[in-house]
């Protein structure tokens, strides 16, 4: 039997997971790049909070480390990197250019998130799984799918990068619940990987902007089968 | 120590060539580093042949048959690509490159190091990191020429393969969860195989599908292949050789490893998945090859085709088939790097990638036309190319397992692929040029004009490509056997 | 039982009495956020008193609908106040007269009458506002139904009192992810339904852009007072449903203590909760710009998506 404080921590973690999913839905619906960016930061804070709560509830120092690393990389380092590499893109481009309109992409998001969520809940039925994994894994999967969808429908470079980061957050969100004790070196390596790809994609965006004068990567269609 | 050295040499060299006084000799220093890496890789193969598997760096690095095969192929192609770069880049830099190429060799070295790290990492989570780094470190190499097309290709490459890697990460994490549930502690391939019988199938299958989709994106499996023809046609030719010859194979390596794991999970059969995805990739790629208008793009589609063939071969499931798959990986790495080196010569000669614009190549640049035709013949499986031998082995293994339908499809698509590539290649070589004005000057681009380094790289690649088609040295046979064992027990 | 009837009427009195105060606090908070002083929080009472003393002018062209609409608009929230847990957690005399759907129907009836009256008034802005309100209504009603459906899945009932006690009974359900989503969806619905930003600007004075306010432009004197008061009460009861039933089911008079003192003690607590909510509302209203009319469907679409996700995660929760 869990101590009441543990169950309370886990309850609050479940609450955070609801908000986490909400921020992902927000990035699908957000029309402005800056909103997307803020939603990503909030989402990372929620991810970090969730890891910290799970870490306290399961008394796992690994998860507390993950929480600290997430907070440091995703709410400080990545925004800083983005500002350094694509600063004016984030602020100047007010509205995002989309392949689909927002209601359609929201409906698609709904179907995708629903299917992913249900599939994984059903998948976990036969296995003895802790309750928090049952919450986090399906929600992580849903967020991964939402990120992938956002990536597909957005034409703007920075928006695509943010979608990638959101998808990555989803995977981490699932990860903290199912593998609370990944070797520390792997955690650290994964934590390094995210800033590196932010940097690489950010620099690539800058290169594209300076060479082609646009960051609408979705409008680049020189390469295709004809 | 040996395994750590394999990684450390290129990493150190990438730092060395950053130092400004040494930058002038960066190309040849890189060749030196790659030669050293190749020697170390050969030593690792020796050690693996002796003991079955070697490990190093306190157990963080490990090398068994499959790993050793990939390592030595990466090292070999990296070596030839480094030699080739010296000729290619200097010639290309004069008119097509916006920057002086200062970032090329550091990136080249570290990119090779990341590819070498993939088969050497013992921990699967770290392997994921290494595989993701191969994308990130090569993204700038893909967009190196800074044309709109190259940048578009680099963008698609970076974004789509990173998304794939993120999807695969979830699969990797679920697999790790499965090993924990099964009671194993570490997260290495051996532990994973040991844990497989006790893992809940309902965890393993979603994990496998996530990894298949995720890393399949990086391999270029249909339908996740859309970025591959772009990136592999727009990068500088030596980088194309690395990307198409070995980088996709490092990603495929992970999927092939899973075959052994999946078949030990109770009540599951991985073969059909491999065969379906394999046939799909082979079929779609060969059919798309018929209508390409860019010869580098044609070879890129051929990569998709060959990845499908390898996947299918492993899916057949017999020992012979796995041996043949390992053979095919080897043959493809050699043949495809040769093809891109040859294609690079055409780019140097005529500055054009459109098939229509290089007609009459035989007259306009015979020194580029000969290797190109040879490469086209080699990659489509004409004897005495090694590709012929390996594809024959795969078809035989399929027939031996009674997979007549699969073998039939495979043979059909290989023939379509052959017809498609040869049609383009003959048109390019012997066709009548539409507009002679596109040729640089009146006189043909002769042997003297081709950079010696490029020709050297072609020769170095051609020797094993033909030799392995004619005979199978005992050492290689042993390595391929070990590699086949690693893919399924 | 008589006591319960008494408490029920007390609830009504609280709703009628404090609704203008809520309006006043909201207006004051908004001004404070913009670093202005703003009017006194009792200004709405003065406005109401002033309007009630004034003569009423009614267009000769209008029919009885125009004249009765203010009374309907005023009484609809009063009826609702009988059905919902304003002050007590235990069901009062009229609690089982209607569920949350009933609450919706009563409010919609009031809204429908006001829309009819707006068309009846002959003022060109009235019908425009009425049609826009109907458009928002069409978009929000399906979401309301989904929200109520999830609630009924959880509590096995849509009677507000029973729903409210369900959250208290099982904290796991209260903290569940879908509950958060439900709350957010409902919040978006309140914003849309009550004509708040980003759907409609409640404090705007530009007739062409109005949705909610343009329907009462033609009223004067007592009619205007009743419309204003009714509008304030509508916000009040929506907040009560949101706060007392969905978000913070605490702070009400419990079944253990049924004395009048306990019930009266709940009044300041409920008002405190409302104050917190108003602060949130002001933050939302001052940080968002009004949406273009045709983007309202995106806003309600977002609410719809959130509600459906909540439903899916509730249905498939293991």
Q: Is the pLDDT of residue B96 over 50?
A: no
Q: Does C171 touch chain A (CB under 8 A)?
A: yes
pLDDT value at B130 more than 90: yes
Res B441 pLDDT > 60: no
Chains A and B touch (3+ CB pairs under 8 A): yes
Neighbours of B (≥3 Cβ pairs closer than 8 A)? A
Domain count, chain C: 1
**pLDDT value of residue C71:** 94
Chain A neighbors of C184, CB-CB under 8 A? 22
CB contact at 8 A, B307 and B235: no
Residue C207: per-residue pLDDT:
75
Of B133, B151, B159, the CB nearest to A207: B151
What's residue B414's pLDDT? Answer: 95
pTM given for the model: 0.89
pLDDT band at A185 (very low <50, low <70, confident <90, very high): low
Identify which of B318, B393, B329, B295 has the alpha carbon closest to the alpha carbon of residue B119.
B329
Q: What is the pLDDT of residues B327-380, one digit of tens each?
A: 999 999 999 999 999 999 999 888 888 888 888 888 888 889 999 999 999 999
Write down the pLDDT at residue A156: 86
Better-predicted residue by pLDDT, C97 or B312: B312
Interface mutation target, options C179, C180, C296, chain A, most CBs of A under 10 Å:
C180
Q: Which of A125, A151, A226 sits opposite B159 (nearest CB)?
A: A151
Report pLDDT for C173: 78
Percent of chain B residues topping a pLDDT of 90: 64
Lowest mean pLDDT among A130-139, A180-189, B200-209, C125-134: A180-189
Neighbors of chain A by Cβ distance (3+ pairs < 8 Å): B, C
Q: What is the pLDDT, as a whole number, of residue B220?
A: 92
User: In the 3-class helix/strand/coil scheme, how is chain C assigned residue by residue?
Assistant: CHHHHHHHHHHHHHHHHHHHHHHHHHHHHHHHHCCCCCCCCCHHHHHHHHHHHCCCCCCCCCCHHHHHHHHHHHHHHHHHHHHCCCCECCCCCCHHHCCHHHHHHHHHHHHHHHHHHHHHCCCCHHHHHHHHHHHHHHHHHHHHHHHHHHHHHHHCCCCHHHHHHHHHHCHHHHHCHHHHHHHHHHHHHHHHHCCCCCCCCCCCCCHHHCCCHHHHCCCCHHHHHHHHHHHHHHHHHHHHHHHHHHHCCCCCECCCCCCHHHHHHHHHHHHHHHHHHHHHHHHHHHHCCCCCHHHHHHHHHHHHHHHHHHHHHHHCCC
How high is the pLDDT of residue C52? Answer: 92
Residues on chain A touching B291 (C-beta within 8 angstroms): 225-226
Q: In degrees rounded to 5, what are phi and psi of residue B384?
A: -95, 25
> Which of B450-459, C12-21, C294-303 bottoms out in mean pLDDT, i.e. has the lowest?
C294-303
Least Cα separation, residue C303 to chain A (angstroms): 10
Burial tier of B21 (Cβ tally within 10 Å: 0-12, 13-18, 19+): exposed
- Is A149's pLDDT higher than 90? yes
Q: Spell out which residues of chain B touch residue A164, defining contact as CB-CB under 8 Å.
A: 159, 162-163, 166
Segment C126-152 shows an average pLDDT of 87
Nearest CA in chain C to A115: C312
Rounded-to-integer distance, Cα A52 and Cα A211, Å: 43
Give B106-128 pLDDT, tens digit per residue: 999 999 999 999 999 998 988 99
Mean of the pLDDT values across residues B460-476?
Answer: 92
Q: How confident is the model at residue B203 (pLDDT cuts 50, 70, 90)?
A: confident
- Which of A148-157, B93-102, C201-210 has the lowest average pLDDT? B93-102
If you average pLDDT over every residue of chain A, what do you get? 85
Please give the pLDDT value at position C286. Answer: 86
Q: Which domain holds residue C23?
A: 2-315
Percent of chain C with pLDDT over 90: 30
> Cα(B305)–Cα(B412) distance, rounded to whole angstroms?
12
Whether A148 and B126 lie within 8 Å, measured CB to CB: no
Residues of B in contact with A226 (CB under 8 A): 291, 293
Kindly indicate the confidence band of residue B448, based on its pLDDT and cuts at 50, 70 and 90: low
Q: Which sequence spans correspond to the domains of chain A?
A: 4-212
ipTM: 0.94
More confident residue, B431 or B422: B422
Candidate from C153-167, C172-186, C199-213 with smallest mean pLDDT:
C199-213
Lowest-pLDDT choice from A49-63, B453-467, C181-195, C281-295? C281-295
User: Within its chain, how far is the Cα of C204 from the centroid?
Assistant: 19
Q: Does the structure show a pLDDT above 90 at A1?
A: no
What number is the average pLDDT over the span A161-176? 92
Could you say which of A17, A21, A135 has the minimum Cβ distance to residue C309? A21
Counting one residue from chain A and one from chain B, the pairs whose CB atoms sit within 8 A come to: 137
pLDDT at B252: 95
When pLDDT is averaged across residues B99-108 and rounded to a whole number, the result is: 79
pLDDT exceeds 50 at position C57: yes
Sign of CA dihedral C298, C304, C305, C306: positive
Tell me which chain C residues have a C-beta less than 8 angstroms from the C-beta of A17. Answer: 177
Chains C and A touch (3+ CB pairs under 8 A): yes
């Amino acid at each position: 039997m869990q101590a009441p404080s543990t169950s309370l921590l886990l309850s609050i973690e479940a609450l955070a997971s609801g908000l986490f999913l909400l921020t992902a839905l927000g990035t699908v619906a957000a029309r402005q790049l800056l909103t997307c960016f803020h939603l990503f930061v909030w989402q990372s804070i929620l991810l970090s909070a969730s890891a910290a709560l799970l870490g306290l509830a399961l008394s796992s120092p690994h998860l507390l480390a993950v929480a600290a690393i997430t907070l440091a990389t995703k709410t400080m380092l990545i925004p800083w990197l983005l500002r350094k590499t694509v600063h004016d893109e984030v602020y100047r481009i007010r509205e995002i250019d989309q392949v689909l309109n927002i209601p359609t992409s929201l409906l698609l998001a709904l179907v995708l998130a629903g299917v992913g969520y249900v599939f994984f809940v059903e998948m976990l039925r036969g296995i003895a799984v802790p309750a928090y994994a049952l919450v986090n894994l399906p929600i992580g999967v849903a967020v991964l799918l939402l990120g992938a969808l956002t990536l597909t429908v957005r034409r703007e470079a920075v928006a695509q990068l943010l979608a990638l980061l959101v998808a990555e957050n989803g995977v981490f969100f699932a990860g903290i619940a199912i593998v609370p004790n990944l070797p520390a070196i792997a955690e650290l390596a994964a934590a390094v990987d995210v800033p590196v790809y932010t940097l690489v994609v950010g620099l690539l965006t800058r290169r594209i902007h300076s060479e082609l004068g646009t960051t609408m990567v979705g409008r680049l269609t020189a390469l295709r089968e004809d | 120590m040996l395994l750590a050295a394999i990684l450390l040499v290129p990493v150190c060299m990438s730092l060395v060539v950053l130092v400004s006084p040494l930058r002038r000799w960066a190309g040849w220093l890189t060749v030196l580093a790659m030669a050293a890496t190749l020697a170390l890789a050969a030593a690792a193969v020796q050690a693996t042949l002796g003991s079955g598997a070697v490990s190093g760096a306190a157990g963080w690095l490990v090398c068994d048959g499959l790993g050793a095969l990939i390592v030595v192929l990466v090292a070999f192609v990296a070596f030839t690509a480094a030699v080739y770069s010296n000729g290619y880049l200097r010639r290309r830099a004069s008119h097509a490159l916006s920057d002086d190429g200062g970032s090329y060799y550091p990136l080249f070295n570290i990119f090779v190091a990341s590819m070498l790290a993939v088969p050497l990492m013992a921990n699967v989570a770290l392997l994921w990191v290494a595989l993701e780094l191969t994308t990130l470190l090569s993204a700038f190499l893909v967009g190196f020429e800074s044309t709109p097309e190259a940048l578009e290709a680099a963008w698609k490459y970076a974004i789509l393969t990173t998304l794939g890697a993120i999807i695969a990460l979830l699969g990797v994490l679920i697999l790790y969860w499965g090993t924990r549930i099964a009671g194993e502690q570490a997260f290495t391939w051996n532990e994973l195989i040991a844990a497989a019988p006790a893992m809940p199938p309902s965890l393993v299958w979603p994990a496998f599908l996530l990894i298949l989709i995720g890393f399949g994106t990086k391999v270029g499996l249909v339908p996740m292949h859309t970025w591959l023809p772009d990136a592999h046609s727009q990068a500088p030719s030596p980088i194309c050789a690395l990307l198409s010859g070995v980088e996709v194979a490092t990603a495929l390596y992970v999927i092939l490893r899973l075959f052994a794991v999946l078949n030990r999970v109770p009540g599951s059969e991985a073969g059909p998945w491999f065969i379906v995805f394999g046939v799909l990739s082979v079929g779609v790629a060969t059919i798309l090859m018929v209508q390409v208008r860019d010869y580098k793009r044609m070879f890129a589609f051929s990569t998709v085709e060959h990845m499908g063939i390898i996947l299918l071969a492993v899916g057949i499931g017999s020992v012979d088939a796995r041996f043949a798959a390992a053979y095919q990986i080897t043959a493809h790495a050699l043949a495809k790097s040769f093809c891109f080196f040859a294609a690079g010569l055409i780019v140097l000669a005529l500055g054009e990638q459109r098939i229509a614009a290089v007609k009459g190549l035989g007259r306009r640049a015979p020194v580029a036309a000969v290797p190109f035709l040879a490469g086209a013949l080699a990659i489509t499986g004409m004897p005495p190319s090694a590709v012929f031998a390996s594809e024959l082995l795969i078809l035989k293994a399929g027939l031996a397992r009674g997979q007549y339908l699969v073998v039939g499809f495979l043979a059909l698509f290989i023939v379509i692929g052959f017809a498609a590539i040869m049609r383009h290649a003959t048109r390019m070589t012997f066709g009548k040029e539409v507009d002679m004005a596109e040729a640089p000057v009146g006189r043909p681009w002769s042997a003297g004009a081709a950079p010696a380094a490029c020709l050297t790289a072609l020769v170095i690649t051609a020797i094993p490509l033909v030799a392995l088609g004619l005979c199978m040295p005992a050492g290689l046979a042993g390595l391929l056997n070990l590699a086949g064992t690693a893919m399924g027990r | 039982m008589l006591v319960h009837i008494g408490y029920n009427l007390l609830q009504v009195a609280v709703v009628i009495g404090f609704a203008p105060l809520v309006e006043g606090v909201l207006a004051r908070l908004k001004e404070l956020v913009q670093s202005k002083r703003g009017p006194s929080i009792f200004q709405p009472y003065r406005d109401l008193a002033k309007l009630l003393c004034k003569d009423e002018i009614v267009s000769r062209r209008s029919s009885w609908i125009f004249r009765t609409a203010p009374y309907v608009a005023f009484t609809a929230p009063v009826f609702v106040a009988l059905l919902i847990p304003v002050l007590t957690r235990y069901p009062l005399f009229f609690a089982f007269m209607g569920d949350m759907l009933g609450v919706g129907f009563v409010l919609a009836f009031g809204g429908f009458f006001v829309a009819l009256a707006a068309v009846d008034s002959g003022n060109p802005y009235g019908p425009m506002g009425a049609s826009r309100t109907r458009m928002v209504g069409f978009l929000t009603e399906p979401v309301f139904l989904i929200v109520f459906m999830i609630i009924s899945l959880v509590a096995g009932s849509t009677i507000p009192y029973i729903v409210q006690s369900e959250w208290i009974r099982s904290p796991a359900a209260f903290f569940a992810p879908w509950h958060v989503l439900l709350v957010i969806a409902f919040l978006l619905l309140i914003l849309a339904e009550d004509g708040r930003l980003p759907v409609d600007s409640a404090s705007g004075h530009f007739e062409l852009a109005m949705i909610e306010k343009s329907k009462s432009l033609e009223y004067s004197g007592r009619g205007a007072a009743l419309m204003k008061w009714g509008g304030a009460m509508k916000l009040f009861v929506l907040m009560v449903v949101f706060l007392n039933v969905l978000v913070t089911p605490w702070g009400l008079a419990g079944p253990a203590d049924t004395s009048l003192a306990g019930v009266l003690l709940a009044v300041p607590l409920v008002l405190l909760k409302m104050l917190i909510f108003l602060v949130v509302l002001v933050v939302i209203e001052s940080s968002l710009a009004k949406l273009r009319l045709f983007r309202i469907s995106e806003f309600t679409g977002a609410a719809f998506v959130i509600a459906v996700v909540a439903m899916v995660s509730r249905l498939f929760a293991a």
